[in-house]
Structure 1
Amino acid sequence: MRVLIVSDCYAPRLGGIETQVRDLARNLLRHGHEPAVVTATPAGTHRGREVERADGFPVFRTTVPLPAELPVHPRARGEMTWLMEHLQPDVVHVHVGVVSPFAWPGIAAARRCGVPTAITFHCVLGGWSRAVGRLGGLSPVRLWQEAGADLTAVSSMLAQQVLQAGAREPVTVLPNGISLADWHPGPSGEGRPPGAPLRVVASLRWIGRKRPLQVVQAFAEAVRRSGCRDAVLDVYGDGPLRHRLEQEVVDSGMAERITLVGRVDRPELARAFAQADVYLQTSPADSFGISVLEARTAGLAVVALGSSGVGDFIEHGVDGLLADDDAGLAEALAGLLADPQRLERIKHHNRTVPPTPEWGSVTGMNLSAYRRAGARG
């Protein structure tokens, strides 16, 4: 099957959508299909039309010079129409968020060319879904669906928001995938070295909606509640809140226990997870929570907000603990810090029971979406 994948953002940018789109194309290729990617993300200084084949499939970069390399192209619809007429894909798979200035024109181009279209929502829609839903039959989501597009979302929480934005049933859950080999340590795992402190980790962008300050706050409160003397926190990532996060560490009174590691590549993060115990997630705005899935696959117990998308693959009391609010996060983490036997039971489960959203099954779910789109087209 020839699949053209449309995404505003792509490698070398780092992020959830960028990683998932690239891994999807790699897995489609591995299963004998013919993926191609079109994006508005440049790879270097070149602007205009550019094609590369670093991963064995073509990546078409259609870019113009803009501040901060924004994924915008004034002729996006025309550029993608030309590309679709040239490639003649069997299906177009468009990955969208609340604002997708490049991907949305890809939907229009696919409709103009008469190509079956699958659309996957990745980001929390929030107030946008309510505002758009009030448009009724004029909602763009409804119009896409009525034109034959197959609508999917990366979690059940997000699928409900797509319905709220005007879609009709069904909106299928199409989870992000993970490669077990990249994260899974095996039944025994490398584990925390003897005598090493109990290690809590978080990996996130240091921006407001990811709430990195609350990571520090929840950890500090959990340590105070539990009386745990050997717990430490490592925070991975980077972003504009770096200075505020550094100050939060100082203000917590536990600076000697907390390390702001910064951004690292996937293999290094996997090695860090292999020697950690608990993953702490504080963002209710995670439509899926790919870093949580990575940590759970690595065998860590998860402490997270149940209102986020992680509830699709984290069962409370089995894979970790889900909380309703910040106070609940601190309480849940304190409970694990004070109960090493319960912590080890959860870690053992996560090391020995693979998570459901593995790429072998997720690739098949994507192919099912493509077949549904073809049937509707």
Structure 2
Amino acid sequence: MKIIHVHHHYWPVVGGIENVVKALAEGMARLGHEVHVVTSTYGAGDRPREEVINGVHIHRVKSIRLGYPDLTYPLEAPRGVLKNADVVHGHSQNSLFTVKMVEEARKVGARTVVHFMAVDAFNDHPSRLIRLLAPRYGRWSVKKAIEISDVRLVKSFRDMEILRNRYGIEAEYVPDGIDEEPLRKPNMAEEFRRKYGVRDPFIVYVGRLHRLKGIDVLIRALAIAAKEEPSLKAVIVGPGDQRPYRELASKLGISDKVLFTGFVDEDTKIGAIDASVALTLPSVSNYVEVFSLAITEAWAREKPVIASAVGEIPYRVKHMVNGLLVQPRNPKALAEAITILIQDRGLGEKLGEAGKSSVVTWSKVVDMLLKIYSKASSPFNG
């Protein structure tokens, strides 16, 4: 089968959707399928426009960007590649690049699949301008993606409900997965503690440093919780600008309680999760939480999760069953949840064990998608 994945970013750009597309593309290529990725030149640096990496054919097309990554517009389309595809799978209808490329694929007769993400999710965005303008774009992009797609997928039951109730269409649920490695590795807590010299109990955040991820809320919550638990620390793992968060920690007098590791390798990330009391995900907007791989990674290591009730999170994290849910943008509520798990490690173990049962690997997700591709239309060839 010839399969094409579409998104405005691909490796070497590292991020949530980018990592998902890479995992799917390489997983399908390993099974012997001819797999292509159509993406923009943004973030590729000096890499060639056309190359093959780990069996995946990458096509980077000239594009322009209107301020935001989602507003990346392709200036060309590899129609020859699209025309001969069995299926073109576009990731995120919020991406203008994805919508336009899938539209081109439809024009040349390819069968199309769109993974809908963060449907109508701009209304709680902290930026007043985005709250005003983005919902109009969001509604247009959803309607356009419905029009040009043969198969509609979601990775969030929130999005499934909105598509059904607001737009009158059904979508199939296909979640994101994780590599099997986090399920097999031995506990790596000691390696992390030794590497970074962290012996006190800590909560861990894993992800990019972005204002919608609520890292400022986490730091404020730490300042509150540390009054009751003076030895408590926070470890923040992931790429991004640390400066505003370091300044906030300094202002609150807790610089010595926050460790920023920056981007780390997989073993170090696993070690940070293993050594932590809990993963904390204090996101502040529906838009950034379509399917949290960090939550899945924590559950794979049998660690509890403390997360804001935004986006898909309350559909996966059930309060006092496999984690703790807190009101977004509420440092006091987050601090109280952190304190509960610091003081009751047995509860944390119970929640982490419960979460592990819902972990899905990439191999299973790839198998789910290949079955969907195959049954969607008889022209597909296995």
- Match for residue 94 of structure 1 among 90, 93, 113: 90
Structure 1 residue 68: Cα displacement = 9.4
Maintained 8 Å contact 2:63/2:75: no
User: d(CA) in 1 for partners of 2:246 and 2:161?
Assistant: 37
Tell me whether 1:311 sits opposite 2:314 in the alignment.
yes
Letter in 1 for 2:240: G
Match of 1:149 in 2: 150
Tell me whether 1:292 sits opposite 2:291 in the alignment.
no
User: d(CA) in 2 for partners of 1:109 and 1:65?
Assistant: 17
Tell me whether 1:231 sits opposite 2:229 in the alignment.
no
Structure 1 residue 19: Cα displacement = 0.4
Task: Encode CA deviations 1:145-189: one digit per residue, 9 max, x unaligned.
Answer: 34552122221123334456x6322122221111131x2365x73
Tell me whether 1:335 sits opposite 2:331 in the alignment.
no
Structure 1 residue 74: Cα displacement = 4.7
User: d(CA) in 2 for partners of 1:140 and 1:259?
Assistant: 40
Match of 2:265 in 1: 265
- Match for residue 363 of structure 2 among 355, 360, 365: 360
- Match for residue 78 of structure 2 among 74, 77, 80: 80
- Taking a change above 3 Å as real, the CA distance of residues 81 and 154 of structure 1, as seen in their structure-2 partners, is same
User: d(CA) in 1 for partners of 2:91 and 2:201?
Assistant: 39
Match of 2:104 in 1: 109
Letter in 2 for 1:291: A
Letter in 1 for 2:229: C
User: d(CA) in 1 for partners of 2:141 and 2:64?
Assistant: 29
- Taking a change above 3 Å as real, the CA distance of residues 129 and 102 of structure 1, as seen in their structure-2 partners, is closer
- Match for residue 201 of structure 2 among 198, 201, 205: 198
Maintained 8 Å contact 2:187/2:271: no
Structure 1 residue 249: Cα displacement = 0.8
- Taking a change above 3 Å as real, the CA distance of residues 376 and 253 of structure 1, as seen in their structure-2 partners, is farther
The alignment partner of 1:222 has SS state of helix
Maintained 8 Å contact 1:95/1:119: yes
Maintained 8 Å contact 2:3/2:88: yes
Tell me whether 1:60 sits opposite 2:64 in the alignment.
no
Match of 2:167 in 1: 167
User: d(CA) in 1 for partners of 2:3 and 2:254?
Assistant: 51
Maintained 8 Å contact 1:91/1:373: no
Tell me whether 1:274 sits opposite 2:277 in the alignment.
no
Letter in 1 for 2:173: V
The alignment partner of 1:317 has SS state of coil
- Taking a change above 3 Å as real, the CA distance of residues 52 and 147 of structure 1, as seen in their structure-2 partners, is closer
Match of 2:130 in 1: none
- Taking a change above 3 Å as real, the CA distance of residues 197 and 74 of structure 1, as seen in their structure-2 partners, is closer
Maintained 8 Å contact 1:38/1:61: yes
User: d(CA) in 2 for partners of 1:39 and 1:335?
Assistant: 45
Task: Encode CA deviations 1:208-255: one digit per residue, 9 max, x unaligned.
Answer: 21121111112222333xx22332211122434x32211111123322
Letter in 2 for 1:96: S
Query: Structure 2: which 5+ residue stretches go unaligned?
Result: 124-132
The alignment partner of 2:317 has SS state of coil
User: d(CA) in 1 for partners of 2:85 and 2:267?
Assistant: 34
Tell me whether 1:222 sits opposite 2:217 in the alignment.
no
Task: Encode CA deviations 1:96-133: one digit per residue, 9 max, x unaligned.
Answer: 252x2321111111111111110012346324785468
Letter in 1 for 2:51: E
Letter in 2 for 1:105: K
Structure 1 residue 349: Cα displacement = 4.6
Letter in 1 for 2:225: A
- Taking a change above 3 Å as real, the CA distance of residues 202 and 39 of structure 1, as seen in their structure-2 partners, is same
- Taking a change above 3 Å as real, the CA distance of residues 322 and 196 of structure 1, as seen in their structure-2 partners, is same
Figure out how many residues of one structure are paired with residues of the other and give that number.
358
The alignment partner of 1:107 has SS state of helix
- Taking a change above 3 Å as real, the CA distance of residues 376 and 365 of structure 1, as seen in their structure-2 partners, is same
The alignment partner of 1:288 has SS state of coil
Tell me whether 1:120 sits opposite 2:119 in the alignment.
no
Match of 1:344 in 2: 349
Tell me whether 1:40 sits opposite 2:40 in the alignment.
yes
User: d(CA) in 2 for partners of 1:5 and 1:292?
Assistant: 25
User: d(CA) in 2 for partners of 1:267 and 1:122?
Assistant: 29
- Taking a change above 3 Å as real, the CA distance of residues 123 and 145 of structure 1, as seen in their structure-2 partners, is closer
User: d(CA) in 2 for partners of 1:222 and 1:41?
Assistant: 44
- 272-281 or 112-121, larger mean C-alpha shift: 272-281
Tell me whether 1:208 sits opposite 2:211 in the alignment.
yes
Task: Encode CA deviations 1:28-55: one digit per residue, 9 max, x unaligned.
Answer: 12333322111103533257xx221221
- Taking a change above 3 Å as real, the CA distance of residues 74 and 3 of structure 1, as seen in their structure-2 partners, is closer
Structure 1 residue 316: Cα displacement = 2.6
User: d(CA) in 2 for partners of 1:65 and 1:147?
Assistant: 22
User: d(CA) in 2 for partners of 1:209 and 1:157?
Assistant: 19
- 58-67 or 269-278, larger mean C-alpha shift: 58-67
Q: TM-score, normalised by structure 1?
A: 0.83
- 122-131 or 66-75, larger mean C-alpha shift: 66-75
